[in-house]
A and B are shown apart, each in its own frame.
Chain A
Amino acid sequence: MTGRPFMEPGLEEPILVIDEGRRDKLPPGKWVRRHLFNSWHNTLVTVLLVLLLGYAAYRFGLFLFVNGRWSPVRRNLTLFMVGRYPREELWRIVAQVVIWSGTIGLAWGVAIAGASFRASQTGVAYREDPLLTKVRRYWGLLGLLLLLLLLTESFGPLILALVAIGVGALLQVIGKRVPGQYADLMWAAVGVLAVGGYQIVSGFHGRGWIWMATPLALGAVRLVGRIAWTDPRRERLMQLGVVAGVFGIGYVAYSMLDLEGVGWDHWEGLHLNLIVATVAIVLAFPLGLLLALARRSSLPALRVMATSYIELIRGVPLISLLLMAQFFIGFFLNTTTPLSALTRAIAAFTLFTAAYIAEIVRGGLQSVPKGQIEAGQSVGLSPFRVTRSIVLPQALRAVIPAMVGQFIALFKDTSLLSIIGMAEILQVRALVHAQAEFRGFGIAETLVFVMLAFWAFSFTMSRESQRLERKLGIGER
């Protein structure tokens, strides 16, 4: 592997060497001398900065491990995690953590299997990241987990963490072992697990069967497609029959089971922040994509609607939208609660973020040269195929950093839920300090704890986006 030097005329050395491996091949001692102590003023700056940083680190360490009054966090850890969620139903969240950990593991394994399958088909060797790289990639989250375990007062959370990681690792191995051509079935399984993990808390009842039956039906359709059919019409018929069958069975099963759980209106604490952010991200992305395409559409009505939507939503503060959804919908519709409070809050987050995503994606769409579209048209692709296979892949690739930035902002904005009376993690902090023994006690510590929780997830999102950028070669072309 050779580095790519950037030369400046008149200099003997390259000013910058980009290398996937080590940036600098000098031995540590020499590196330090060349970069930190090469002149008297650099030496002075180095010494001063080391002293300053060392003192700051010392004070922070002292605060973290010695002086910090962590008892408000320690005592109320469950409150910070799940808020006022009923304690006798806590097993549901435990099960959810394990199932979703398994879901992530399986998805990860299947993705690796798919990548190596594609690589083998194109004749390129696929190299999986070593374990240490993976650990380094997620050190923010692992650090938060460690902090949580240090703060717990029982072994329950430790066992939960070990079981969850174990299940995730096991399913990852299984996902990797399954041959690449079965990837679609595995993705259906991921979908079923994800829905199951959600419904173990929210309950298996009502309209939940739609969510469960959708991945099952998709998997079943793919399964039917595997059979070598002689008559394509019979294949279509069979697929329709299978879909109808799955939906029918799902409907009957759910109306017979009818197991009530704890609806998401009772989800609080960090659990709520994560759910709201995840759901809003998953919903806002496709909505934003459609809005961006609509805004560039040649149909004036569509364009006007998309543009006015984007400009209207982008022009108002998020908090005003949240308040609107929370307290004023009732006045417009003249009814008390058409949708639950949390559903309306998530709708507000989704609508708000979608407008921003639309503008980010539009930026990406505009960066795709016109020649690309014309090339697609000239080989006779339909407008849909041109957008789907030529424009969008390039446009989305270009806007990953901005998009992830928007998602991180959305995650942090979930702290605004406290203003509309929902006990997300920042509001839990206020609850804790209303308790008699923690009134005005340890207020810095609880704030640091909440900040760390937000930071760990935001940082992990950022690292994932950087990995994606590197993988897709953004910034190098």
Chain B
Amino acid sequence: MRSMKRLAVLVLGLTLVAAACGDDASGGGDLLADVVERGVVRCGVNDVLPGFGIVDDTGAFSGFDVELCRVVAAGVLGDADAVEFVGLTAGERFTALQSGEIDVLIRNTTWTATRDGQEGATFLFTTFYDGQGIMVPTATGFTSLEDLADANICVLQATTTELNLTAVFNARGIPFNPVGFADNNLLRPAYEEGQCEAWTSDVSQLTAFKATIEGEGGAAQTILPDVISKEPLGPLVRDGDSAWAQAVEWSVMATVQAWEFGIDSSNVAGYTSDDPNVKNFLGVDGFETGIGLPTDFVVQIISQVGNYEEIYNRNLIPIGLPLAGTPNDLWSNGGLMYVPPYR
């Protein structure tokens, strides 16, 4: 009888605790206001992908995706340094976004229909057009996918890359033998030792490894011209909060618009133009978009971080990814970078 009473008290206590926790829950749905109040953007990034997101020996994040996080912070808060970076693995990134651990995910995430539909995430403006390619040692003389019949192909396990490899090769009726690895640090030595004749991954990653291998005196490498998939990469936010999604998207797109206008971090201060589109873009004369961003958000982004071309040149040119003539070039140069007008 006594123990029953104790149990009852305990249950009552737990209920009260649960109720108290429940009361703490924020209303939800207004992340933009929350972020402004918090004063920091929590950004999920990759911390082990050269060019896109790495940590240097002083512990600082750098990379293409990392700078886009800084763009969001500069646009929303006016301070590019007001970012809390969260290094995420491929497996945990969507969960982190859904559970609210992070406000925005910029972690080389491919936009696909199932992800958009099932992961509770909204994909925004594509910031990098990647595609899956295949690298072979030049000495093998392989020049096309058909040459790879019965070859061992190194691939990272449990990635869309692996699925796509199987799908494309089966569709073309080319027999092959996939060799799976958990991460690139294990894959690279295996590839160089000749455990496999080819290495498939996103072209951006293959290009980076090609440069490293050849730079360290390894065998010459060739990336086959066939690109066997589309991999549009961009930022993601949680479903159901369009105000926040717009704030992130228009901040990121501003880097491309500035590039198109020829505005960069060196000339944005005091940039003058008679073009009303440019004036609106820079928030001159108090032009207000109604997105919920400060009037001068573009000036803050461009002066503190830079335009798309500057960000690309800082991070992706050094790892051997060209910009001119690729899908990531401006639409006016034949690329796919095309943003809606700021007016």
Contacts and interface: CB of A to CB of B under 8 A. Distances in A.
B159 to A, nearest CB: 16
Given A335-B26, A336-B26, A439 B101 contact: no
B113 interface: no
Contacts of A421: 86-89, 92, 96
A420 interface: yes
A294 B99 CA distance: 35
A324 to B, nearest CB: 11
| Interface-central residue, B26, B87, B319, by most chain A CB under 10 Å | B87
Interface in B308-327: 318-319
B3 A299 contact: yes
B55 to A, nearest CB: 4
B124 interface: no
Contacts of A85: 59
Interface stretch (A76-84, A94-102, A202-210, A398-406): A76-84
B55 A79 contact: yes
A338 B3 contact: no
A87 B59 contact: yes
A379 B86 CA distance: 61
Contacts of A268: 59
Nearest to B96: A327
A441 B57 CA distance: 15
| Interface-central residue, A75, A82, A420, A434, by most chain B CB under 10 Å | A434
Nearest to A269: B59
B56 interface: yes
Interface string B1-19: 0111011000000000000
B276 interface: no
A231 to B, nearest CB: 38
Interface stretch (B133-141, B180-188, B247-255): B180-188
A206 to B, nearest CB: 17
B21 A338 contact: yes
Nearest to B92: A421
B179 interface: no
Given A336-B100, A439-B208, A423 B47 contact: yes
A77 to B, nearest CB: 9
A443 B55 CA distance: 17
Nearest to A433: B185
B41 to A, nearest CB: 14
Considering the complex of A and B, which 7 residue pairs feature the smallest CB-CB distances, nearest first? A84-B59, A330-B99, A440-B188, A336-B100, A434-B48, A301-B3, A327-B95
B22 interface: yes
23 contacts: A76-B57, A84-B55, A84-B59, A84-B60, A84-B61, A86-B59, A301-B4, A301-B6, A301-B7, A327-B98, A327-B99, A327-B101, A335-B24, A419-B89, A420-B92, A421-B96, A423-B47, A431-B47, A431-B87, A434-B47, A434-B50, A435-B57, A439-B208
Nearest to B208: A439
Contacts of B22: 333-334
B58 A87 contact: yes
Given A327-B95, A335-B24, A441-B216, A430 B48 contact: yes
Contact of B101 (A84, A337, A419): A337
Nearest to A435: B54
Main secondary structure of the interface of A (DSSP, over half): helix
Contacts of B24: 333, 335, 338
A104 interface: no
A58 interface: no
Given A301-B7, A302-B3, A443-B185, A335 B21 contact: yes
Interface in B223-277: none
A323 B60 CA distance: 26
Contacts of B55: 79, 84, 423, 431, 434-435
Contacts of A331: 98-99
The interface size bin for chain A is: 35 or more
A341 B32 CA distance: 22
Contacts of B88: 421
B49 interface: yes
A124 to B, nearest CB: 47
A439 B56 contact: no
B142 interface: no
A383 to B, nearest CB: 16
Contacts of B186: 443
Interface in B28-56: 47-50, 54-56
Interface string A301-344: 11000000000000000000001001111110111111001000
Nearest to A437: B212
Contacts of A330: 99-101
Nearest to B53: A434
Given A327-B96, A436-B318, 17 more contacts: A78-B57, A79-B58, A82-B59, A83-B59, A85-B59, A301-B3, A301-B6, A327-B95, A333-B21, A334-B22, A421-B87, A423-B55, A431-B47, A431-B54, A435-B55, A436-B212, A439-B188
